[in-house]
Amino acid sequence: MRIVTIEEHVSFPEMSGFLPADILSKRRHSSAAAQMMPKLADISGERLASMDQCGISMQVLSVENTDVNLLDSTAAPYFATKYNNMLAEKISDHLGRFTAFAHLPMTAPMAAADELERTVNDLGFRGAMIRGLTNGEFLDAPKFAPIFEKAEKLDVPIYIHPGLPPQAVLDAYYSNVGGKTGAFEAIACWGWGWHSETAVHVLRLLAAGTFDKYPKLKVVIGHMGEMLPMMWVRSNRAFQPGSGGANQRTLDDTFREQLYITTSGFFTQPPLQLALDTIGIDNIILSVDYPFSSNQMGIDFLNEIQLPPDQVAKIAHQNADKLLGL
């Protein structure tokens, strides 16, 4: 069976040479990312060998680090362009196995929209991945509208991935745990905070009417829906049209038409069943979250799914192929 996974990460150390010293001093890499740097930098070595061993046909690559969000609106576009060009060059010898999501200069939204268009039209990228908030702002801020306009026009999705929490959130929610100072990554990031914040991000877009304004826009989130399937029925009741938000459709109607979720890093059957019962099989896409999860974990999970083969094929590749035009 053809297998496509779409939340798979890269980070190239050589790009640090394009960052000013003051930005390098502010860098906040998670310990997990730091340990994974050799795997993140690799494309055609261990990564490709693992894909072959596991039977993965294609990975959609995206830049893991958030350095571009640390740059001002003047420097960010150049950095993002260099990163995207480097990514395109590194996958150019394996175009049957890799494609990519663009890395956008979010501190310069108009330039980000232009970079999305350039990478799709000139480099063959399949959309963009945006990592968390930009200078503490969610994507429902009007300044980010050009990015959604461009994505809808190009018919490519925006993948919203968790990012590092803003300092105010770290201080309020994740510091002074048990009387100890500092933030604790397990709570602030992959153990909880990332996922709840991304769910809030998508709900803000719903309540702001962003999905209604751009009815052909497609948004992707990972980690089996970032807690949204668990809250589906209750949130659908809360976000009814006319209940205070600008949304014209229910959460259920909107997300079934415009939201896709991936399995990245969630490899047990109960969360999948919940996702099937809520957002539905046509909106679920296999992802590994490589290298933070192994390709073998993703394939073992896929092989354990107790569904008819034609439905497994939707998760394994058909939904991704259709959404991304693969």
Instruction: Walk me through the domains of the chain, giving residue ranges and CATH numbers.
Output: 4-324 (3.20.20.140)
0.85 cut: is pTM over it? Answer: yes
Which letter, b or e, does each residue of 288-320 get, where b requires 16 or more Cβ atoms within 10 Å of its Cβ? bbbbbbbbeebbebbeebeeeeeebbbbbbbbb
Tokens of 279: 């957002």
Residue among 174, 224, 217, 216 at smallest CA distance from 199: 224
pLDDT of residue 175: 87
Q: What is the pLDDT of residues 151-168, one digit of tens each?
A: 999 999 999 999 888 888
Strand residues in 68-131 grouped as ranges (E): 98-100, 102-103, 128-131
Q: Report the percent of the chain where pLDDT is more than 70.
A: 95
Q: What is the pLDDT of residues 234-277, one digit of tens each?
A: 999 999 999 999 999 999 999 999 999 999 999 999 999 999 99
Question: Over the chain, what is the mean pLDDT?
Answer: 93
CB 206 within 8 A of CB 239: yes
Mean pLDDT value across residues 67-95: 92
CB 121 within 8 A of CB 155: no
